[in-house]
Amino acid sequence: MELFFFNAAFFALLCGLEATPLSVYPQRRYLNSKFLLGLGISYLCFLAMFRGASCGNDTENYREFFQVVASQKNLWHTIRHTSFEPLFTALTFFLSRLTRDPQILFIVTSLFSFAVTGRFLAKFSLAPCFSLYLFFTLQIFDFYISGIRQALAIALLLLAYEAMTQKKNLRTLLLILLAGLFHRTAWLWFPVFFLLRVRRRRAFLGVTALVGAVCLVSSRYLVAVIASIFPRYQLYFGSSYLKSGAKLSLILYFLVFGLVLLVGELVGDREDAPVRSGRDEWDFRLSFLLLVVCVLGYTAPIFSRFLQYFQLNLCVYFANRLHRMSIQTRKILLLASLAAFAAYACTIHLFRTPEWYTTYPFVFCWDH
């Protein structure tokens, strides 16, 4: 538990250093935002790489899966007779040829997921350390620890987003396809790709609202279809999952994400702020889709598996909006945000651990 509070303080410190002007702290020229981001993301990656079996909801399951795959001789036979996606199974199979220690699976997957995430924040966020702070306090880090297949899919979708900003449509679609071969839910990004192509914001909001309404009305049918495509997620269709606090988490997510989006849109830009780019508009749209998914997830909990595909864009969107505000407004909102998100993370940690995530109490693999 102590590590959680240390981590929260550490990332708040990085935000403070990032926001401190050179006139106040001249030595900060050696501690620019990207250096601080690299320090923070490397630290999180280290924790993820060398976590013990008790850290993460599914870590033990992945260790057992690695041992099963390691005992197999034929790759094609292994892919056909496991319930995991083919690329993840193939990755596990090849890693098991190098060593029988399942820790290598967490080392390799964490290196890729966190390296791509750090690159994404460095490239697209105007305040990358604040985005990283949101990454930690909104429990995206905890999710990376628990769901390594989906973390790999998220990383590939971040690369797809980058390709989309460069108008490389074929590469974008190929990366979405690859992401789905690590976690099938990533294929949700195929319709998202075309939704983002709607030019006017009003048209986008109208189309999204219409699609969301249709999904709500036909939720029972959709659940049956999704259950046939994703048989592994039967848990999400039962009452046990709802009783575990899933609906409460979705309500909290909706309130927190909605407030972030509302503040970002209501507070105006400073006079000398650069003109918003198309990428800023995409981040807004992906953040709005996050709210739609929260609403759908409340009705059909399987949709909650899609939330993580939009959270990092919200982290970037809010950081960029803060950066465009006047200095005085930015200071007030930054301090308020640091306090609010710290309070949110501490509340979840104290009252919903280990019910939601089992990252803490944190142990290293060599402690077992």
212 lies in some domain: yes
226 in any annotated domain: yes
Nearest alpha carbon to residue 318 among 274, 257, 277: 257
Q: Which of 119-123, 176-180, 280-284 has the lowest mean pLDDT?
A: 280-284
- The single residue listed with the structure tokens 């142990």 is 363
The domain total for the chain is: 1
b/e burial code for range 230-260 (CB count within 10 A of at least 16 → b): eeebeebbeeebeeeebbebbebbbebbeeb
Position 150 pLDDT exceeds 90: yes
Is the residue at 304 inside a domain?
yes
Is residue 308 in some structural domain?
A: yes
In a domain, 203, yes or no: yes
pTM reported for the whole predicted model: 0.90
CB 298 within 8 A of CB 247: yes
Identify whether 302 is part of a domain: yes
Give the CA radius of gyration of the chain.
21
What is the reported pLDDT for 242?
Answer: 47
For residue 230, give its domain range. 198-325
**Burial class, 28, CB count within 10 angstroms (exposed 0-12 / middle 13-18 / buried 19+):** middle
Confidence band of 357 (pLDDT split at 50, 70, 90): confident
* Structure-token pair, residue 299: 């009705």
**Tokens, residue 362:** 């944190």
Say if residue 134's pLDDT is above 90. yes
- Domain-located, residue 104: no
User: Is residue 120 assigned to a domain?
Assistant: no
The pLDDT assigned to 175 comes to 97
Neighbours of 29 (CB within 10 A): 8
Answer whether residue 238 shows pLDDT above 70: no
> Of the given ranges (14-23, 28-37, 223-232, 358-367), which has the lowest mean pLDDT?
223-232
The least confident of 24-38, 64-78, 263-277 is 263-277
The yes-or-no verdict on residue 356 having pLDDT over 70 is no
356's CB contacts (< 8 A; 6+ apart) are 139, 142, 245, 249, 348
Select the more confidently predicted residue: 33 or 122.
122
Class of residue 92 by CB neighbours under 10 A (exposed 0-12, middle 13-18, buried 19+) = buried
- What is the rounded distance in angstroms from the CA atom of residue 193 to the CA atom of residue 56? 31
- The strand pairing partners of 364, in sequence order, are 51
Question: To the nearest 5 percent, what fractions of the chain are helix, strand and coil?
Answer: 80, 0, 20
User: Which residues, in sequence order, are CB contacts of 296 under 8 Å at separation 6+?
Assistant: 212, 215, 216, 219, 303
DSSP 45-67: HHHHHTB-TTSSTTHHHHHHHHH
